[in-house]
Structure 1
């Protein structure tokens, strides 16, 4: 999803240099291009299963990078499959296992598969409920719960995300959005301000803050922010056209 949405993939760690781990072309994964479409994204993951490659022969970090590569070209179904395999190959309780489950949840969310996303986020949180990825998973889980109609749980998990990492701007934005929906407008404005101060400034955030200020009767500032958000959207559209 775009940066305006409340959930995000991990940044990844990049491939090894020199690149010695998981490779798209190791001997055990060689295929006949006359028999297999080279664009078929399932080839790599299917061959991993078919060959029963030992766990110590797979770089989980590189497999996560493959999943992230799929997300960059909006191939989210393939991404979910790759992240799940990364989680299965990762050491139990490891940071990589947690990262893989979190990213799998985001990929499902991109497909609006909310139940699958929620399950993946809960897997991630179960591994370590106080880590960097836990904050991301809690934030993403809150959004998925909201989308599936479980609004009370959504607010609880957004608050948990802020408790874990007070410098995570998306968590503050989520919390502000859910508070605003419940009519706790002043608290919502404070959350939006925190998100903006931490660098999460886009049209969607500005629009939500404008909506909150309007409910507080601060019409002039709300109108100014609404115009600012409109300009931000216009600039973003122009950049897309230029690309």
Structure 2
């Protein structure tokens, strides 16, 4: 039997080979170049995001529609998907206001997931874009809420105060400021703030419960008891409406928003704002999705003390 190795007596090419790197077979083509030092190895979206930047024209993407997608995810409690949709909306937005809206909503979605560090970062990014726009007050009060949940109580009060400085008719901002002041034992100032919130139309069970607690701190026990009873009546009515809606087959989840995570006895965050979704069904949920311009038109009739 002949040894196959003995048959290999032909000469192989001794050409100069390929240049290094050889463009046609380079494993790292220029259009997909990524700085490894800036890549988180556990970030599963690196390749997708890199491809997006080079394969999708910004003019072909409607950032408003992406925000609506995120808001719809919020309505069905799919908060992780919502954060991704809002992040994409921010990256494709050509208008600063649209980008800011996307960041604020992304922060709200993170707060629903109790990812308060990420929520803080999203709201700070929104404020970096513009700290005095109609969305800035919402970003500030949501930032205050996330900071409080994160344990940064001193900073929380600062941003709650900033929210009402930007928009003095921002009822949710007045409520958060009242809560933080009450936590510091400044009950008289807290009462003034929560009364402003109520004058501006924010009157639900959560707000009334907080006012009752403030009145108790001030020794106004009779008035506190009346307010507490009104809050309980609101809760009972809300629960009754929910039961009736469910029996009719029309039950829906309560309004999404950072404030929902706070619950009674805590500060509230603004619900996500945009065109998608409906108003909360009950008084247990935090106030609805009103931007600064909408608040101004609705609240002109109220006078603050």
Q: Residue in 2 aligned with 1:32?
A: none
TM superposition outliers: structure 1 runs of 4+ over 4 Å: none
Partner SS for 1:66: helix
Q: Residue in 2 aligned with 1:238?
A: 240
Partner residue of 1:181 out of 163, 172, 183: 183
**Structure 2 residue 162 is the aligned partner of structure 1 residue 160:** yes
**Structure 2 residue 105 is the aligned partner of structure 1 residue 88:** no
Partner residue of 2:227 out of 225, 228, 240: 225
Alpha-carbon distance between aligned partners in 1 of 2:240 and 2:162, rounded to the nearest angstrom = 38
Q: Residue in 2 aligned with 1:77?
A: 80
Alpha-carbon distance between aligned partners in 2 of 1:153 and 1:50, rounded to the nearest angstrom = 36
Q: Residue in 1 aligned with 2:13?
A: none
What residue ranges of structure 2 are gaps of 5+ in the alignment? 1-47, 246-305
Alpha-carbon distance between aligned partners in 1 of 2:223 and 2:66, rounded to the nearest angstrom = 47
Q: Residue in 2 aligned with 1:151?
A: 153
**Which one scores higher on RCO, CA 8 angstroms, separation ≥ 6?**
2
1:129-140 equivalences under 5 Å are: 129-140=131-142
**Structure 2 residue 211 is the aligned partner of structure 1 residue 209:** yes
After TM superposition, the score normalised by the length of structure 2 is 0.63
1:190-201 equivalences under 5 Å are: 190-201=192-203
Partner SS for 1:233: helix
Does the C-alpha gap of structure 1 residues 213 and 175 become closer, same or farther in structure 2, counting only changes over 3 Å?
A: same
Shift of 1:52: 2.8
Alpha-carbon distance between aligned partners in 1 of 2:179 and 2:91, rounded to the nearest angstrom = 35
1:54-69 equivalences under 5 Å are: 54-69=57-72
Higher share in helix: 1
Alpha-carbon distance between aligned partners in 1 of 2:198 and 2:77, rounded to the nearest angstrom = 27
What residue ranges of structure 1 are gaps of 5+ in the alignment? 1-44
Q: Residue in 2 aligned with 1:116?
A: 118
- Flag the structure with larger Rg: 2
Shift of 1:53: 1.8
Alpha-carbon distance between aligned partners in 1 of 2:53 and 2:238, rounded to the nearest angstrom = 45
Shift of 1:226: 0.5
Alpha-carbon distance between aligned partners in 2 of 1:64 and 1:137, rounded to the nearest angstrom = 16
Q: Residue in 1 aligned with 2:263?
A: none
Q: Residue in 1 aligned with 2:56?
A: 53
After TM superposition, the score normalised by the length of structure 1 is 0.79
Q: How many residues align?
A: 198
